[in-house]
Structures are given as C-alpha cells and as structure tokens.
Amino acid sequence: MTNTTFFETMAEGASKRSGRCIICKGARRLCGKDRCPLMIKFYSQSKSMNLIDAKDIEGCSPPAVFVGRFGYPKVEIGPLIPPEFGDTSLMDKPEFWIGKSIDEIVDLRFRLVRGKYRIDARNFKAGGKIVDNVQELALTEKPLEVEALFAQKPRGRVILDDEVQPFGPSARMEKMSIGNPKFERNLEKSFYDIDMLAKDAVVTAYENGTLISEIQKAFAVGTMGVEKNRKFVPTRWSITAVDDTIGKNLLRTTKYNNTIDEFRIYKWEQLDNRWCILLLPCSWRYELIEAWYPNTTWNPSGRDIEIISDHEFYEGRTDYAHIGGCYYAARMAVNELLMRENKQAGAVIFREAHPGYVMPVGVWNVRENVRAALKTRPHKYDNIEAALQHVDRVMDIPRKTWIANSGILRDWFTQRRLDDYVQSA
C-alpha cells in the first residue's frame, strides 16, 4: 500500500464528515487547525508502512492488548504489535508520556498493529488458544515477542476517541503465538485467586505499586474477579472502571480526614491544554469543567467556546458523568494528593483545550496531567477571592464564566456554611 493510497483513504473517510478535508488535504488549513490531524496520522503511519505491508507480523508487544466495544458482548479482541523488536514498553505506558508532543505520542502508538479476533465476552473460554494468549500478554510485565497471522494486510482508518489511546492499522487475526511471559506479580496473584472480588484485585494491585495502565489491561481481559463472574470488558470501559474503583477507595479514607487550611491553586500546561486546579478548605466536593475552543477536536466548526461540566458533593453521585471517563481519572488524581497529605478538601478543576490540541489522545491525558499539576508547589491564599484572581491570571476564560458553569462554585457563593456562623458569632 503506497503512502499516497493510504492518505487518500484517510481523506476519503474524513470527507464524509466535511468536504473541506478532501479539498484541503492538510495543506490549506481550511478547518482552522494549526496542524491537520489527518496529516499527523499519515506521517506517523508512513514511517512504518513498509514494515507492516504483510499478513504475517512479528515484534515485541509493549505488552499491549485491546478489547473493542461494538456489538458487545460479541467483541473483537487482540494484541497490539509493533513490527520491531527490543524495548517497546514506552508505547503502552502513558504514565511516562508527560512532556511528549502529540506527534511523538502518535508516532509511538501508530506503530502498534491491532489484531482482531471475535469472541463472546461473557463466554470467552470458548475462544481457545488466542484468548489464552491475549490474557497472558495483558498480565506480562515486560515486552514480549508476539507473532500474528492476519487474514489480510492490516489497514488503518481515522479513529478519534477521547477515552482510548490511538493505535495503528488493524486486521482480522487467524493465528497468534507469544514467547514465554513473565507475569507482573500483583496481577498474577489476582489471576490465580478466583475468589477475590474484581474491585479488591484492582485496589490491591494499585496499593502494591502496579501501574494503573497495567491494571486496566488485566481488568479488560477477564483476569480479575470471582471465577464465575469473569468476562472480557471493552478497553474504554475498563479504563474508567479502574479509575473509578481506585478513586472511590481513596475517598473512603480522604473524606473523613481533616480539611486543608487554605485555598490552593495548582497550574499546568501540556499539549495546548491549560489546567488550573482549585482546592477549597471544606468537606469533599469535586467538579471538572472543560472548555473546548473552536477548532479543537470536539468543537471543530463552532464559533464559540463550548463548556461542559460535572460535579458531586460529599455524598457522591449515582449517575454516570456525561463528561465521560476524564471525570473519574481526574477525581482519582485529586484523591491521590489528599491521601498523601492525609487531608480532605473540595476540588474544582478548570481545563481549557486550545486549538493546538488537534486530536484526542486518551483519558490518560487528563489523569497524568492532573497528577503532574498536583505535584507542583501550589499558590496558597486565605480567601476564595484571592484564589479566583489567580485563576483569572492563569486562564483565558474569566472567572464569571467559570462560576456560571460551575455547580460547586455557585453553591459556595449562595449557601451558608457552618464556618460562616462561627465567624459571625
């Protein structure tokens, strides 16, 4: 498959959404973006095109697997394989991607070829040896040699997903073999413990130092939980489930700690995403507010900034946050900080996605950048007015707009609290 053919295929898919792409071909910036997301994928893909122009592919998986969601419970599962050997671990460890550009991240991920093998997620044991290999790969600690035979040469298409990291071309897989795996010790323990609840397996692995990205893979391929309840879970669901499970477990401790004594502001910028995190000296409450500028992925043709938010108070929430997995990833990160400090606080996270954020790269972007922000030295204030003045200095959007879109801040300014009565007594 030539580079020209590949790009024309991508452009054809994009033209179904907008006729401008096929006219522009990434050169005229007709969509208004600083860089064309199709071209980013094209350049990354073209680097390895000659390496994947075959039905039989060998390489060292980072290790990485993917479980699809369309048609659930009948889903496509399989390995992610780069056509190269050596230490490929960075390709599937988003915990170490802070500081990398979108180009670098996409280049890492688009070297991964996805094998697809259809199974029944609820009866995966009927899937045979390939299912066993996928499970073993997900539990493996270090890069592992994998060989896959595809029904046809892998092909790529444009997929934009704010939950899952991007990956390269895919094809239906007929055979798969792996080297000798060495399981990550915590994931191995939960795999063989068929009486341990899945949530306990997730928390235990996390508390014993297993990376969240590794736990998410093991959770997705049915290696956790009571044996009769085990099933494959789509990757995008497993990412949110693990973040939510860890976050709730941390909350069971942090929401009973003493509160912080001051208002704090943490700031951070990465991938043309600007972050400002406000911690409040009060009982637990939490909110994520995202502002998507025109010409960003989720506001491609708008003229105004689109703002979306979700929040919870001390009792938590019972419905799924419509802002998606990012909500749970950021909530988990905030509670990691509170756990380290043995404190409790309210948190409002402001996020501005500017036009340089030309394509989504996954929920990890929120989790790891909020984690990174909360490791910096905060600015501390005695009152919320001073703290919000700092927000005004950091963010382009003024405070009145943030407040108008915030359930937590509106409540703060309209509801009396016990401290108000104490101070006025």
Res 271: pLDDT: 95
CA 172 to each of CA 107, 117, 176: distance values in angstroms, whole numbers, following the listed order: 23, 6, 11
- Model pTM? 0.88
Q: For position 160, what pLDDT does the model report? A: 56
Task: Report how far residue 357's alpha carbon sits from residue 366's, in angstroms, rounded to the nearest whole number.
Answer: 13
3-state secondary structure of 166: coil
Q: Which 3 state secondary structure label does DSSP give 122? A: helix
Determine the pLDDT at residue 1.
Answer: 38
For residue 296, the model assigns a pLDDT of 79
Average pLDDT for consecutive 10-residue bins of the chain (425 residues)?
A: 36 42 56 66 57 86 96 96 96 96 89 94 95 98 97 74 81 96 98 98 98 98 97 96 98 98 98 97 97 82 88 95 94 98 98 89 95 98 98 96 97 75 42
- pLDDT reported for residue 164: 83
| DSSP secondary structure letter of residue 140 | B
* Sign of the C-alpha dihedral computed for residues 313, 318, 319 and 321 taken in this order: positive
Token pair, residue 124, equals 């995966």
Strands (E), 137-251: 144-150, 170-178
| Three-class SS state of 292 | strand
The CA distance from 189 to 353, in Å, is 40
Amino acid (1-letter code) at residue 196: M
Query: How far is residue 110's CA from residue 114's CA, in Å, rounded to a whole number?
Result: 10
Give dist(CA 337, CA 254) in Å, integer.
10
Element spanning 42, H or E: helix 37-48
Q: Which residues contact 140 (CB under 8 A, 6 or more apart)?
A: 63, 181, 182, 183, 184
Say if residues 276 and 303 touch (Cβ distance below 8 Å).
Answer: no
For residues 375 and 385, the answer to whether their CB atoms sit within 8 Å is no
Q: Which two tokens stand for residue 7?
A: 């790009």
